[in-house]
Chains A and B, each alone.
Chain A
Amino acid sequence: MTTDWDVTALLAGMARDLRPLIDPEQAAMIGIFTGGVWLARTLHAALGLQQPLGQVDISFYRDDFSQIGLHPQVRASDIPFDVDGRDIILVDDVLYTGRTVRAAMNEIFDYGRPARIRLAVLVDRGGHELPVAADVAALRLNATAGAHIKLRGPEPLRLELEQRRLQP
């Protein structure tokens, strides 16, 4: 089932909420593959950030690597600016357990020591398993464990919400 959420409007809201938090000269943005990168492209342009957009693929940092193995398609992480001392906005599509964000932060710290990292997500669906919170979230839901929330894209961006039956 798809919803009638207007992703473009949600993105505009994210940009509006981020603007007072950042200095566009100094701040830099990193999107998490795949959905986070799609969103970050729009946000990066909307905020007029001077640093080029970064992207991370957290496959090598996942905490469930030994259970599920390597994602069949790994993209190269690319952080084309100096991380040391920088304000970073980390962008992802859906915040759920917090494990992806933790993995992304671990990866970013392997590039250097940022001054601060803020988290911006399209959907905070609840169900966090780690002390991770979004600084900016366009939607805050209290989804049940069986709900499947996914951003489809890149053109057009569509937010899907599907209520799956729990596995027996």
Chain B
Amino acid sequence: MSAATFRFGEGNPQYDAQGRLRHLLSTEGLRERELLQILDTAESFLSIAHRSVKKTPTLRGRTIVNLFFENSTRTRSTFELAAKRLSADVLNIAVSTSSASKGESLIDTVDNLMAMQVDGFVLRHPEAGAAHLIACHLGDSALVVNAGDGQHAHPTQALLDVFTIRRLAGPIENRVVAIVGDVLHSRVARSQIHALSILGCPEIRVIGPRTLVPEELSALGVHVYHDLQAGLRGVDVICALRLQRERMVSHRLPSLNEFYHRFGLTPERLQWAAQGALVLHPGPMNRGVEIASEVADGAQSVILQQVAHGLAMRMAVLTILAGAAGGE
């Protein structure tokens, strides 16, 4: 099907005309059954990392392009490895933001790659909505995974986080989850909130300074705290966020030290949460800013498991989206 005949399935560009998940742009608007299917499929991929041959033939013959307009280590390398473990061919393109202009040139880049008969794009871009733009442009002709667009969404990170919570903390329907730190600039936090809500998380809290936690979040059914001790009380899972120093306008924070002093996760403060509460962090960490090394490397930290889960999650997402390409 050409891009011109693309139609929205149920008004959401993530779905094709048959209602199948064709692109993953945001956790917002995902249906619970798709979310559960993604989590269950990731579970099946997890064990493959422990076999002698860490590959399946699932995407043999397909080509996936990693198109990154922003720096990334974990996300880019796990997407690359995920595609390779599915036997796809991978093209990595890192575009420096300074040399690329927006809008039309992104579409031009994608059109040129499409002329090489590629099957999918994993896109990271500093502009919110970049992945939507490309998905709408491509329609059914190739899959698009949003690997982070501006401050809008980072769905695979949120999915691997809820996957980690479900595996290591138990059913999400009875866990209290707190997201701590720079929520304002965080595409991860937004995607986490949507994913957790869809999966029936009974209480989602966001904790951070007034300048970094928008009050409007309470409209999403989230409980907003500006005091770490009050916010952590009884919490089963703590999702720390990276303080986005590169996005930080100076007036939002007096200093990084001040942030650590009030909101940094230290071993003492971890005691305020429920016993054995899990600590997640999407990486890269600013040790001594949002998290103390003793916590990051401590017994309650599942940060490295998140990375392993991220690989399985990205294999699951690519498989499900590529699967929707088949059939009529």
Contact = CB atoms under 8 A, between A and B. Distances in A.
Interface of A: 57, 59-61, 64-70, 72-78, 106-107, 109-112
B52 A110 contact: yes
A69 B327 CA distance: 7
B129 interface: no
B56 A70 contact: no
A73 B40 CA distance: 8
Given A76-B44, A76-B47, A77-B47, A70 B53 contact: no
Interface string B33-64: 00001001101111100011101111001000
A61 B58 CA distance: 6
For the complex of A and B, the 9 pairs showing the least CB-CB separation, nearest first, are A69-B323, A70-B323, A110-B53, A60-B56, A76-B44, A60-B58, A69-B326, A74-B44, A67-B326
Contacts of A78: 47
A110 B323 contact: no
Nearest to A59: B44
A61 B51 CA distance: 15
Contacts of B58: 60-61, 65
Contacts of B55: 110
A64 B325 CA distance: 12
A109 B319 CA distance: 21
Size category of the B interface is: 20 to 34
Given A68-B326, A70-B41, A61 B46 contact: no
A74 B41 contact: yes
Interface of B: 20, 37, 40-41, 43-47, 51-53, 55-58, 61, 86, 319-320, 322-327
Contacts of B45: 60
A102 B327 CA distance: 22
B326 A66 contact: yes
Nearest to B54: A110
A65 B320 CA distance: 10
B40 to A, nearest CB: 7
Given A106-B57, A110-B52, A110-B55, A65 B323 contact: yes
A111 B52 contact: yes
Contact of A74 (B40, B57, B325, B327): B40
Given A60-B58, A61-B57, A66 B325 contact: yes
19 contacts: A60-B57, A60-B86, A60-B319, A64-B326, A65-B58, A66-B322, A67-B327, A68-B326, A69-B20, A69-B327, A75-B44, A76-B43, A77-B44, A78-B47, A110-B52, A110-B53, A111-B51, A111-B53, A112-B52
